[in-house]
C-alpha cells in the first residue's frame, strides 16, 4: 500500500474534487461513514451508547461532527465539544455543523478542562478525537493540549479521525502531547505519521478508507513510499543440493567479537540458505566452530589485535569469485588495517554485496567506492547512519525517510535503515516501510540475524532488490514469532534466529494469512 505525505494527500483531495467532481461534502460524508462502521463493528449496537466528540476548527473537526450526526441518528447519545468559534467552519464542515445544530445535537465550546466536562467524558462509552489533523507543525499548547490530556487521563475508548491529534502527519513525531487512540481511520491513503513510530503506536488499530477516491488516486506511482508487503518465495527445488540455495561468503568477526560472525553465518542457513562460508581471524574459528558446526570456515591471518589481517585480501578475493553473495563487516573491529581491507574488498568484489557493522564504519570514510557498484545493500542502525551521512542521530530520527532516500539515490545503493518499522530505500527514490517486528528485537545480534536472512532470500532465488525486502520482512516475522513464544522481554538474537525456519514455513504454507496480518485494513 502507498503511504502519502500530508502535501500529497492535499493534492489527491484537490484532484478528486476538481478532476472527478467528487465534492468535499461527499468526501467528508464518506470519511464519517467509514469511522461509523468501525465504531459499529466494535459496539454492535449503538442505541443507548454515549459518545463525546472533540471537534477542532478545520475539516478534521467537520469529520467529527459528521460522524456525531451519524451516531446520533442511530440512537446514540452524543455531546460535541467545539475547540473554536464555529463561525470559522467553511464548506462541508460548515454545512455539517449547521445540520448538527438544527437536529439538536448538544454542542458546547471547549475553553479548558473543568469538572463538568470531566464528568461528561467520564460517563461516555467512547470519545471521538477530531481535534487536530495531519498538518500540525508546532507543539500543541493551550486548550488543545488540555483536551488531549483529558482524553488520555480517563482511559476511555478513543476513535481518532485521520490521525491521533498531536501527531505530525509527515514524521510520526509527538508534537508535545498527542491522543492515544484505540482505533484510527485515516482517509485516502495512510500518511507517514500513521505508519512511523511513535505515531503508529498512538493510532491503536489503524484502518484506511479510500473515501470513494478513484484507483488513479490511491495507486498514483508518484507516491513512492510504500509498505513492505511480502511476496511469495520461489518454490524449493526437490532435487536441489546445498549449492542450489545459495553459496555465501561472510567476511566477519575478530577476537572478542564472536557473536556477529556466528549469527550472520548461521542465520543464513536457518532462513533456508544452502552453503555458508565464514572468512574470519584464525583465532576466532575454535570459539565459533563449537557452536556453528554447519558453517564452513576459512581461517585468515590476523593482526596482533585478533582482527583479519590486510594480507588476507587476495585469499578472500579468490574465494569470493566463486560465491553468489558476499557479506562484509559484521564484528570485524576498528583496526586500521582491517578497516582498509573492508574498503578494498567492497571496491574490488564484483558480486552482490551486503555491508554491515564495522564494514559501514570503514565505508563511511570512502563513500566514493560505491560509485558504479550494482547490487549492494547497506544495513546501518541510526548511529551507523550518522557516520555515513554526518547527520546527527537526533536529526536522522526526525526525518528517517528523507535521509534514507537521499543517501540511496546519491550513492546508488539500497539502504536498510534499521529500527522500529525498518526502512528500505531504493536508488530510484522508492522507500518501503516494514511492518513486521517488535521492541524485543532491540537486542545485540539482531542486526546480524537480519544480515544472514537477506543473504538467504537471495540464495532462495529472489532478485536482489526483492531479497533485501523479504529479508527485512522475514527477520521481523521471526521476531514476532519469538515474541509469541516467549514474549518481548528477554528476547535474544538466538531466539530470533531459531524462529527463522518457522517464519519461512508460514510464508510458504499460509502466505495470504501472513500478508493480511501485516497489511493496513481497508474499510
Q: Looking at residue 482, what is its pLDDT? A: 98
- Based on the domain organization, do 200 and 316 belong to the same domain? no
pLDDT of 450 > 90? The answer is yes
How high is the pLDDT of residue 350?
95
- Give the tens place of pLDDT for each residue, 301-344: 999 999 999 999 999 999 999 999 999 999 999 999 999 999 99
Residue 56 in domain: yes
pLDDT at 240: 74
Residue 249 pLDDT: 98
- Whether 128 and 61 map to the same domain: the answer is yes
Final residue in a domain of this structure, among 226, 251, 284:
226
Q: What is the mean predicted confidence (pLDDT) over 145-161?
A: 96
pLDDT bucket at 108, cuts 50 / 70 / 90: very high
Domain that holds residue 146: 2-226
Mean pLDDT over 480-506 rounds to: 98
| Averaged pLDDT, 479-494 | 97
CA neighbor of 406 nearest in space, from 382, 429, 380: 429
Q: Are residues 340 and 403 part of one domain?
A: yes
DSSP-assigned letter for residue 87: G
Q: Are residues 197 and 259 in the same domain?
A: no
What is the structure's pLDDT at 102? 97
Question: Do the strands 423-425 and 431-433 form a parallel or antiparallel pair, or are they unpaired?
Answer: antiparallel
Same domain? 284 vs 209: no
Residue 67 domain flag: yes
Last residue of a domain, one of 172, 196, 226: 226
Q: Is 231 part of any domain?
A: no
**pLDDT recorded at residue 339:** 98
CA gap 478, 443 in Å, rounded: 14
166 by Cβ neighbours in 10 Å (0-12 / 13-18 / 19+) ranks as buried
In a shared domain, residues 31 and 96? yes
Q: What is the mean pLDDT of the chain?
A: 96
The three-point CA angle 442-444-450 to 5° equals 75
Which pLDDT belongs to residue 145?
97
pTM of the complete model: 0.95
The reply to whether 204 and 82 lie within a common domain is yes
CATH number of the domain to which 222 belongs: 3.40.50.10260
Quick check: 243 pLDDT over 80?
Answer: no
Q: Please tell me whether residues 263 and 324 are part of one structural domain.
A: yes
* 172 falls within a domain: yes
**Percent of the chain whose predicted confidence (pLDDT) is above 70:** 100
Would you place residue 523 in the very low, low, confident or very high pLDDT band (cuts 50, 70, 90)? Answer: very high
DSSP 3-state percent helix, strand, coil across the chain (nearest 5):
45, 15, 35
- pLDDT for 6-36, tens place per residue? 999 999 999 999 998 999 999 999 999 999 9
Please check the confidence at residue 242 and state whether its pLDDT lies above 80.
no
Q: What integer pLDDT is reported at residue 291 of this predicted model?
A: 86
313 part of a folded domain: yes
Does 244 have pLDDT greater than 90?
Answer: no
Tally the domains of the chain: 2
Q: What is the model's pLDDT at position 216?
A: 85
pLDDT in the model for residue 335:
96
CATH number at residue 377: 3.40.1190.20
Residues 175, 266 within the same domain: no
Do 202 and 340 lie in a common domain? no
In this structure, the answer to whether residues 376 and 504 fall within a common structural domain is yes
Domain boundary among 226, 257, 278: 226
Name which of 265, 275, 420 is nearest 329 in CA terms. Answer: 265
58 within a domain of the structure (yes/no): yes
Helices (H), 229-330: 259-270, 285-289, 313-320
Residue 33 lies in a domain: yes
Q: What is the mean pLDDT of residues 139-157?
A: 95
Q: Average of pLDDT values for 234-257?
A: 88
Spell out the residues 6+ positions from residue 145 whose beta carbon is closer than 8 angstroms to its own.
Answer: 176, 177
Query: What is the predicted pLDDT for the residue at 241?
Result: 75
Inform me whether the pLDDT recorded for 239 exceeds 90: no
Other CB atoms within 10 A of residue 519 CB: 14
pLDDT digit string, tens, across residues 407-438: 999 999 999 999 999 999 999 999 999 999 99
The answer on 443 and 319 residing in a single domain is yes
On whether residue 516 sits in a domain, the answer given is no
Answer whether 193's CB lies under 8 Å from 170's CB: yes
Residue 292 has pLDDT above 90, yes or no: no
The dihedral region occupied by 166, where left means phi > 0, alpha psi between -120 and 50, and beta the remainder, is: left
In 3D space, the residue among 401, 430, 406, 429 whose CA is nearest the CA of residue 417 turns out to be: 401
**Residue 219: band (very low, low, confident or very high) from pLDDT cuts 50, 70, 90:** confident
Amino acid at each position: 500500500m502507498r503511504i502519502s505525505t500530508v502535501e500529497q494527500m492535499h493534492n489527491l483531495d484537490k484532484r478528486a474534487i476538481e478532476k472527478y467532481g467528487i465534492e468535499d461534502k461527499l468526501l467528508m460524508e464518506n470519511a464519517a461513514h467509514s469511522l461509523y462502521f468501525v465504531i459499529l463493528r466494535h459496539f454492535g449496537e449503538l442505541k443507548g451508547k454515549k459518545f463525546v466528540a472533540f471537534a477542532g476548527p478545520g475539516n478534521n473537526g467537520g469529520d467529527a461532527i459528521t460522524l456525531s450526526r451519524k451516531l446520533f441518528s442511530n440512537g446514540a447519545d452524543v455531546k460535541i465539544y467545539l475547540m473554536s468559534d464555529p463561525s470559522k467552519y467553511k464548506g462541508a464542515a460548515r454545512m455539517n455543523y449547521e445540520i448538527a445544530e438544527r437536529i439538536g445535537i448538544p454542542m458546547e465550546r471547549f475553553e479548558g478542562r473543568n469538572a463538568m466536562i470531566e464528568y461528561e467524558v467520564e460517563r461516555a462509552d467512547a470519545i471521538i478525537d477530531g481535534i487536530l489533523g495531519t498538518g500540525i507543525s508546532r507543539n500543541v499548547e493551550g486548550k488543545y493540549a488540555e483536551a488531549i490530556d483529558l482524553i488520555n487521563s480517563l482511559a476511555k475508548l478513543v476513535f481518532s479521525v485521520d490521525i491521533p491529534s498531536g501527531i505530525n502527519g509527515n514524521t510520526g513525531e509527538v508534537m508535545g502531547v498527542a491522543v492515544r487512540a484505540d482505533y484510527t481511520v485515516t482517509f485516502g491513503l495512510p500518511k507517514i505519521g500513521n505508519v512511523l513510530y511513535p505515531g503508529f503506536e498512538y493510532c491503536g488499530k489503524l484502518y484506511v478508507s479510500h473515501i470513494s477516491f478513484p484507483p488513479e488516486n490511491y495507486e498514483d506511482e508518484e507516491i513512492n513510499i510504500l509498505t513492505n508487503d511480502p511476496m511469495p518465495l520461489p518454490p524449493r527445488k526437490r532435487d536441489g543440493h546445498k549449492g542450489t540455495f545459495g553459496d555465501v561468503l561472510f567476511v566477519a568477526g575478530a577476537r572478542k567479537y564472536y557473536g556477529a560472525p556466528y549469527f550472520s553465518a548461521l542465520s543464513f542457513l536457518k532462513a533456508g540458505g544452502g552453503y555458508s562460508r565464514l572468512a574470519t581471524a584464525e583465532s576466532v574459528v575454535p570459539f565459533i566452530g563449537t557452536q556453528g558446526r554447519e558453517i564452513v570456515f576459512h581461517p585468515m591471518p590476523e593482526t596482533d589485535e585478533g582482527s583479519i589481517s590486510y594480507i588476507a585480501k587476495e585469499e578472500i578475493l579468490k574465494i569470493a569469485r566463486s560465491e553468489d553473495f558476499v557479506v562484509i563487516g559484521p564484528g570485524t573491529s576498528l583496526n586500521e588495517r582491517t578497516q582498509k581491507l573492508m574498503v578494498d574488498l567492497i571496491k574490488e568484489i564484483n558480486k552482490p554485496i551486503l555491508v554491515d557493522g564495522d564494514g559501514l564504519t570503514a565505508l563511511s570514510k570512502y563513500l566514493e567506492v560505491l560509485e558504479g557498484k550494482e547490487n549492494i545493500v547497506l544495513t546501518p542502525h541510526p548511529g551507523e547512519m550518522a557516520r555515513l551521512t554526518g547527520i546527527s542521530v537526533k536529526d536522522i530520527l526526525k526525518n528517517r525517510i528523507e535521509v534514507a532516500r537521499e543517501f540511496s539515490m546519491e550513492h546508488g545503493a539500497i539502504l536498510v535503515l534499521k529500527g522500529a518499522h525498518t526502512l528500505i530505500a531504493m536508488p530510484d527514490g522508492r522507500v518501503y516501510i516494514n511492518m513486521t517486528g517488535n521492541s524485543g528485537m532491540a537486542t545485540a545480534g539482531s542486526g546480524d540475524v537480519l544480515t544472514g536472512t537477506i543473504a538467504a532470500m537471495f540464495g532462495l532465488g529472489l532478485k536482489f532488490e526483492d531479497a533485501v525486502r523479504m529479508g527485512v520482512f522475514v527477520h521481523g516475522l521471526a521476531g514476532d514469532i519469538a515474541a509469541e513464544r516467549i514474549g518481548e522481554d528477554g528476547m535474544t538474537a538466538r531466539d530470533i534466529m531459531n524462529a527463522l525456519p518457522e517464519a519461512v514455513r508460514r510464508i510458504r504454507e499460509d502466505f495470504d494469512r501472513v500478508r493480511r496480518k501485516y497489511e493496513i485494513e481497508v474499510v
